[in-house]
Chains A and B, each alone.
Chain A
Amino acid sequence: MDEKIQKKLAILSDAAKYDVSCASSGSTRKNTGNGIGNGVAAGICHSFTDDGRCISLFKILMTNHCMYDCAYCVNRRTNDRPRATLSPQEIVDLTIGFYRRNYIEGLFLSSGVIKNPDFTMERMVLTAKKLRAEENFYGYIHLKAIPGASPELIEEAGIWADRLSVNMEIPTEPNLKKLAPEKNYPDIISPMTQIRNSILISKEERRKFRSAKQFAPAGQSTQLIVGATPETDREIILLSSGLYQNQNLKRVYFSGYLPVNDYDKRLPAISRPPLVRENRLYQSDWLMRFYHFKAEEILTEDHPFLDLDVDPKLGYALRNMHLFPVDINKADYEMILRVPGIGVLSAQKIIMARRHRRLTTLTLKELGVVLKRARYFITCNELAAKFSDWDPVRLKRQLVINTHSKYRKSPDTQLELFADFKPVLPTLH
């Protein structure tokens, strides 16, 4: 019996690892005193695997049997892999066993689709319900909403779970059709919209009655695969910006494409996952969520891809040299946030500290500002350095050399032979 569970766990955790989301933040669910677990708003990571990703939630598939045949997915129907299914009770026992030992923050349950979306979703909801109602579990639960599941089931999922997510995977509809012919966009968008509306309604009701039922208090998220299809970074960023604004998403995750089904000719042949590109996309995501950047500011139409050498904030600064240098002692918060090398926390501290006295470079350093980058873009109490008239190309080279780490790996996307190549004649169409 024990051995069987162990085997199933190995198969199903191996199949679940491609889901990136592992956040346990955003929920403050309280333990009523007779149960187990609670939510911590900031989230807690309990371990870190060899790839440096955190383990916060017990991330597992209910089953890796699947009726779909999506080209990018390791669990597709046509793959010859060991398959297993855990019963709701088994998942509950594992979760509670791990949680009591402080190994995890909660459960992240996803699944392959068996029989039909409703059947799968029902079993997942049942698992969450068992945890909450039978085990008095108040820890974090993240449920994946299966595209095509009925609205009633998604409604119930939101009541038991802290966060719901519907994975988009492929950023544009034609490419989704190409790689996953059995899926369609409306099936993904409609549960997303439903979840958004239910969250808004529940928030509104809780404003009036404290006892009103919470619906997915930690919001909803989604995931996009990067590098499996030829979308530009600009398209991806505009899409995620749209999702934040229209669907009120808490997070959009990016997953660098791993060649799991390298026999499928619809997918690009790559040797390594595009980790740097993924990292740059996350940085852009942070700029939008915390640094008050608009999607259009991060990438312009003539630069549809992010620069892999420098982070997007530095890239923005180099394109907009006329905005700098910024006077640390006078500029407003929005502008200080845009200085490369100054983070949200340092910016807030700068604003507070300069009410007391004029700030110097020494203070900035103590505050945690990365002067190696920031010094080209700021003036403070001391005499200003003469960097502002530097050519952006020269400045970029200087910064790249300065921040070059000996641990840096070779770039993992293809090099461009003619990066600055402009054709003399207009292209013919």
Chain B
Amino acid sequence: MKIYTYDNSFEGLLTAVFECYRRKDFPVDICARNVQSRHLFLENVDIQTDPQKAERVWNGVQAKMSDANKQLLFYAFLSEEQGIEMKIYRFLRRLFSGYMNLETDYGDLDVMALTQSSQKVKKEAMRIMQFVRFQRAKDGMFFCGIEPKFDVLPLVVTHYQKRFADQRWLIYDLQRNYGVYYDKNKVEEVEISKKQFNAFNGQVKQALLDEGEDFYQKLWCSYFKHINIEERKNLRLQLQHMPRRFWKYLPEKQAGA
């Protein structure tokens, strides 16, 4: 009876899976090192992340999954749900034992749970595509600070890179304190130490904003107000599509608008 601990990265989890196979072991639980253990009196095996081992496991997964589901496990992992590690582990056991089309076996509770978790992460990524609002700074850079529920910035980078190929932009994750910066050539991860923006709602300091920015925000708010049909008012429907936690980043939802 053992529990495996790892460093809470996806690579770490894949290494742990690799180690399970190497040691011919089936742990009771796999959990992150810094998480309070849920078990008493169990032997603890700490796994050091090894990119090579992780890659071997990942390649094995890629070879066995269908095209549409190649990222299923990674997305499910991003959901940060408690106990997701064992679900992934049991899934991998069945996958590597030669089971075909495992990802469509929705009758199995693990497969179902993984599908649902990955769906949740994908939905959050979609929301980031919807509700990012750039503010133009004086130097021509477009900035947006936002706080996704899961760590989904890496999933939306290609979308923004393709879309805004001719402008410099920076999307900053306010909670996880890192951002993605695009300089018309390549994308890189950045961390800002001296913040020139409000860490709560990502609002850039007025002095740094482009002169036209205020005008466009005003136009947008006025458009938002006038395109609404008063007779059809349905606030519940609005809330359902646009959760309240995003409102603080949206100019059209500010009190003054």
**Chain A residues, CB < 8 A from B234:** 50-52
| Cβ of B227 under 8 Å from chain A | yes
What per-residue 1/0 map shows which CB atoms of A342-364 lie under 8 Å from chain B?
00000001001111111110010
Known: A6-B218, A13-B226, A45-B241. A356 touches B107 (CB 8 A): yes
Inter-chain contacts of A53 with B (CB < 8 A): 229, 232
Contact yes or no, B105 A356, CB < 8 A: yes
Is B252 part of the binding interface, using a Cβ–Cβ cutoff of 8 Å?
A: yes
Query: Quick one: closest A residue to B171, CB to CB?
Result: A102
Among candidates B104, B107, B231, residue contacting A273 with C-beta atoms closer than 8 Å? B231
Instruction: Kindly state the separation between the CA atoms of A136 and B224 in the bound complex, as whole angstroms.
Output: 26
> Quick check: is B215 within 8 A (CB to CB) of the other chain?
yes
- Contacting A at CB under 8 A, from B81-125, are 101, 104-109, 112, 116
A256 → B minimal CB distance (Å) = 8
Q: Contacts A31-B165, A97-B216, A352-B104 given; indicate if A13 touches B241 (C-beta within 8 A).
A: no
A275 touches B232 (CB 8 A): yes
Nearest-CB residue, chain B, relative to A271: B231
Task: Tell me the bound Cα distance from A258 to B233 in angstroms.
Answer: 13
Binds A, one of B8-16, B39-47, B129-137, B186-194: B129-137
Contact B242 A273 (CB under 8 A): no
**CB–CB B166/A102 < 8 A:** no
In the complex, B20 has a CB within 8 A of chain A:
no
Select one of A258, A356, A363 contacting B104, CB under 8 A: A356
> In the complex the two chains form, what is the Cα distance from A18 to B220 in whole Å?
18
Does B164 count as interface, using CB distance less than 8 angstroms?
yes
B19 to chain A, nearest CB (A): 29
Counting CB contacts under 8 A, is B21 at the interface? Answer: no
The reply to whether B112 and A36 contact each other, CB–CB distance below 8 Å, is: no
Complex Cα–Cα for A338 and B257 (A)? 46
Are B232 and A273 touching (Cβ within 8 A)? yes
Q: Are B130 and A49 in contact (CB under 8 A)?
A: no
Is there contact, CB below 8 Å, between A31 and B163? yes
Residues of A within 8 A of B236 (CB): 52, 407
**Residue contact A38 to B163, C-beta cutoff 8 Å:** yes
| Cross-chain contact B227 with A52 (CB below 8 angstroms) | no
Near B by CB (< 8 A), chain A positions 308-349 give 349
10 nearest interchain CB pairs?
A: A52-B237, A353-B106, A52-B234, A352-B104, A49-B228, A51-B232, A356-B105, A13-B226, A14-B226, A357-B107
| Closest chain B CB from A321 CB (angstroms) | 29
B24 at the interface (CB under 8 A from A): no
Q: Tell me whether A269 is interfacial, beta carbon within 8 Å.
A: no
Task: Please list the residues of chain A having a beta carbon within 8 angstroms of any beta carbon in chain B.
Answer: 2, 5-6, 9-10, 13-14, 16-18, 30-31, 33-38, 40, 44-55, 58-59, 94, 97-98, 100-103, 136, 256, 258, 272-273, 275, 349, 352-360, 363, 366-367, 407
Residue of A nearest to B216 (CB): A97
Does B250 sit at the interface, judged by CB under 8 A? yes
Given A48-B238, A357-B107, A366-B109, output 9 extra A-B contacts at Cβ < 8 Å. Answer: A9-B226, A17-B227, A40-B159, A47-B242, A51-B233, A98-B219, A273-B231, A353-B107, A367-B106
Which residues does chain B contribute within 8 Å of A14, judged by CB atoms? 226-227
23 contacts between A and B (CB under 8 A): A6-B218, A13-B226, A14-B226, A16-B227, A31-B162, A34-B165, A44-B129, A47-B130, A47-B131, A50-B233, A51-B229, A52-B237, A52-B238, A58-B223, A59-B227, A97-B212, A101-B134, A256-B232, A272-B231, A355-B104, A363-B112, A366-B109, A367-B112
Give the secondary structure class of A's interface.
loop
User: From residue B144, how far is it (CB to closest CB) to chain A in Å?
Assistant: 7
A62 to B200, CA, bound (A): 39
- Do the beta carbons of A36 and B164 come within 8 Å of each other? yes
Q: Does B235 contact A (CB under 8 A)?
A: yes
**Cβ of A227 to closest chain B Cβ, rounded Å:** 13
Q: How far is the CA of A48 from the CA of B237 in the complex (A)?
A: 9
In the complex, the chain A residue whose C-beta lies closest to that of B106 is A353
Is B182 located at the chain interface by the 8 A CB criterion? no
A38 to B162, CA, bound (A): 7
Q: Contacting B133 at CB < 8 Å: which of A101, A352, A360?
A: A101
| Contact of B37 with A by CB under 8 A | no
Q: In the complex, A97 Cα to B212 Cα: how many Å? A: 9
**Of B106, B229, B231, B241, which contacts A54 at CB under 8 A?**
B241
Residues 124-178 (chain B) with a chain A CB within 8 angstroms: 126, 129-136, 142, 144, 159, 162-167
Decide if B166 touches A55 in the complex (CB within 8 Å): no
Among B131, B136, B241, point to the contact of A101 (Cβ < 8 A): B136
B230 / chain A contacts, CB cutoff of 8 Å: 50-51
Expressed in whole angstroms, the Cα–Cα distance for A47 and B253 within the complex equals 10
Q: Chain B nearest CB: distance from A97 CB in Å?
A: 5
Report Cα–Cα, A272/B234, bound state, in Å.
13
> Is residue B196 contacting chain A, with contact meaning CB distance below 8 A?
no
Interfacial chain B residues near A55, Cβ < 8 Å:
224, 227
Whether, in the assembled complex, B222 has its beta carbon less than 8 Å from a beta carbon of chain A, the answer is: yes
Q: Tell whether, in the assembled complex, residue B130 and residue A17 are in contact, meaning their CB atoms are under 8 Å apart.
A: no
Query: Does A49 lie within 8 Å of B107, measured CB to CB?
Result: no
Smallest Cβ distance from B103 to chain A, in angstroms?
A: 9
Pick the contact of B228: A44, A51, A258 (CB < 8 A): A51
Q: B228–A33 contact, CB under 8 A?
A: no
Q: Mark B67-82, 1 if CB is under 8 A from A, else 0.
A: 0000000000000000
* Residues of chain A contacted by B108 (CB below 8 angstroms): 356-357
Task: Point out the residues of chain B lying under 8 angstroms from A360, CB to CB.
Answer: 107
